[in-house]
């Protein structure tokens, strides 16, 4: 088994399952959902210089890296709204939301939907690369060229790990 990446918010436990429709309770709508008892974090965006303090963004990174794609999408969407859904930060988050959508679709066995989300993410990351002030290679600690490459590889059908049937959580990207 591959080594999992470090956690940015290790004090926030990972959910007991990664949401899949029809398999696990909906995290927010079902009384047994794993997000029922949680309170929303302070999603206030304090600017690029303080990204290491931005809980919804970092929570999304932790969730994504550990196979919780629906949950990562939700965390990043909260962050996306907090930053006003615009500018380089908004664009990065929009691309990450699409990448999480790709993971969620692939985990559900929906290859064409996963590839479509990955293509959208690749387009966003590609446009972002050319628009970042000063040509910065990183934004919010992430390498834009690496994100673009990953999204392009997934869109073309590569970089996806075979999903194990019955797993409660499964990382689908290599």
For residues 46 and 48, give the distance between their C-alpha atoms in angstroms, rounded to a whole number.
7
pLDDT band for 161, please (50, 70, 90 cuts).
low
Three-state secondary structure readout of the chain: CCCCCCCCCCCCCCCCCCCCCCCCCCCCCCCCCCCCCCCCCCCCCCCHHHHHHCHHHHHHHHHHHCCCHHHHHHHHHHHHHHCCCCHHHHHHHHHHHHHHHHHHHHHCCCHHHHHHHHHHHHHHHHHHHHHCHHHCCEECCEEHHHHHHHHHHHHCCCCECCCCCCCCCCCCEC
Please tell me the pTM assigned to this model: 0.87
Q: Give residue 125's Cα distance to chain centre.
A: 14
Residue with tokens 């999408």: 73
Most confident region among 47-51, 115-119, 139-143 by mean pLDDT: 115-119
Per-residue pLDDT tens digits for 35-93: 765 655 667 788 888 899 899 999 999 999 999 999 999 999 999 999 999 999 999 99
- The pLDDT of residue 103 is 92
N-term to C-term CA, the chain: 11
């Amino acid at each position: 088994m591959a080594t999992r990446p470090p956690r940015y918010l290790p004090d926030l436990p990972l959910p007991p399952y990664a949401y899949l429709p029809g398999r696990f309770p909906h995290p927010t709508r079902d009384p047994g959902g794993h997000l029922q008892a949680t309170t929303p974090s302070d999603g206030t965006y304090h600017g690029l210089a303080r990204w290491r303090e931005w809980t919804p963004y970092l929570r999304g990174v932790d969730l994504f890296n550990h196979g919780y794609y629906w949950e990562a999408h939700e965390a990043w969407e909260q962050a996306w709204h907090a930053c006003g859904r615009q500018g380089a930060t908004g664009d990065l988050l929009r691309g990450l939301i699409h990448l999480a959508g790709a993971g969620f679709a692939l985990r559900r066995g929906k290859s064409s939907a996963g590839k479509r989300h990955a293509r959208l993410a690749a387009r966003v990351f590609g446009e972002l690369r050319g628009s970042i002030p000063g040509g910065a290679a990183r934004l919010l600690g992430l390498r834009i060229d690496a994100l673009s490459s990953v999204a392009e590889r997934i869109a073309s059908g590569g970089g996806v790990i075979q999903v194990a049937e019955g797993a409660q959580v499964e990382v689908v990207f290599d």
